[in-house]
Amino acid sequence: MFLSLRYSFTFFFILLLLSPSHINASTTILTQSATKIAITNHNIIQSLNNARRGTKITGISQFKRYLHRFGYLLQKSNTSFSDEFDATLELALVRYQRNLGLQVTGKLDSNTVSQMITPRCGDPDTNDTTPHNHNHHHNHVHNVHSTKNFVFFPGKPRWSRSMPMTLTYAFSRENMIHSLSKKEIIEAFQRAFMRWASVIPVSFVEVSDFELTDIKIGFYNAEHGDGEPFDGELGVLAHSFSPEIGRLHLDAAETWAVDDFRSTASEVAVDLESVATHEIGHLLGLSHSSLKEAVMYPSLRPRDKRADLNIDDIKGVQSLYGSNPNFRSEWSLESDMSANHGSGLVKHLRLASSLIIIISLIHSLCS
């Protein structure tokens, strides 16, 4: 089974895969929005998996709207999609699968459908097509330019201040949630900001003036004035804006959690620190990574936590701002050694370390 049983009614169709008694001739796809796909009948899964060019299946249009919304399928209107599996859908699926690190089949296979229903960031994640129609005056996410797995926004924007840099942030008093205390929310964001500050020469300071701060954080429901309405529980979790706009919006309808989910048994709980860390990456200039272990990977399943920066995240943000002088990791140390003394020295040091360990073991066995 390709998703855990804990993923709420949105993932109900997965349970149906386990029971042949639920199979019948009808197939149903609930079309809630372009960002959410819910299937309530087993039969549709096999039909989708077997779909080829020319096949018509009721509900295919919802997948087209989804791919259009996140930048993979080019079409002027997002309301006139057909239910035909055509060449444009196949190409969009290939791009989506390649970009999300999935097996490239060009089909609506179970792994691809599973990925599509996994909660995610609202920012598009493609690097070779034009995403859905944002309000251009927001300078939001459009085409992105990729290097390695990490990805930048067009033009590689960054906060253009002298180093070391200080950015301020504040929370909207009118747009907060009450399921968590303000202290819990603030501390989750402090940890998220600290993760990025530990690897680049940028510090983040909380201030009270929401209007004059660099970064504005708030929880919002549905339509909230930026042209990208939230879709309720799961679906899109949050979205943010490229430098130097500095707006970070979270869906107030989510069941936000902290402290490794110890305080909630909800099957649809979402880790606030993980999402905050991801969205701060956007604020700094990173788009979505195709590396599943990276913080900047676009999706996050309920009750999962992915807040630790991956080497891919670190390399990406350091290419924009440079390295925090106090930052040292095994990767950065080896890079420095390789650059200054040649890669051979690194190999010799590794060999020496191994020999020391072996000698220590022999000594302990003999004593």
User: Which positions are catalytic?
Assistant: 279
Instruction: Determine whether the annotation assigns residue 121 to a binding site.
Output: yes
Instruction: Determine whether the annotation assigns residue 251 to a binding site.
Output: yes
Instruction: Determine whether the annotation assigns residue 178 to a binding site.
Output: no
Is it true that the peptide bond before 273 is cis, omega within 30 degrees of 0?
no
* Longest Cα–Cα distance in the chain: 79
Q: 350: which residues sit within 8 A by CB, 6+ positions away? A: none
Return the ∠ at Cα 213 (arms to 208 and 215), rounded to 5°. Answer: 110
- Which residue bears the tokens 């991956």? 310
Gap between the Cα atoms of 259 and 237, Å rounded: 18
Instruction: Determine whether the annotation assigns residue 254 to a binding site.
Output: yes
Instruction: Determine whether the annotation assigns residue 304 to a binding site.
Output: no
Strand partners, 286: 152
Which two tokens mark 147? 């290097």
Instruction: Determine whether the annotation assigns residue 42 to a binding site.
Output: no
Return the ∠ at Cα 14 (arms to 55 and 274), rounded to 5°. Answer: 110
Instruction: Determine whether the annotation assigns residue 296 to a binding site.
Output: yes
Q: Which of 273, 274, 232, 239 is nearest to 254 (CA)?
A: 232
Which two tokens mark 143? 């085409």
Instruction: Determine whether the annotation assigns residue 259 to a binding site.
Output: no
Return the ∠ at Cα 257 (arms to 116 and 29), rounded to 5°. Answer: 25
Instruction: Determine whether the annotation assigns residue 282 to a binding site.
Output: yes
Binding residues for Ca(2+): 214, 231-232, 251, 254
Binding residues for Zn(2+): 121, 224, 226, 239, 249, 278, 282, 288, 296
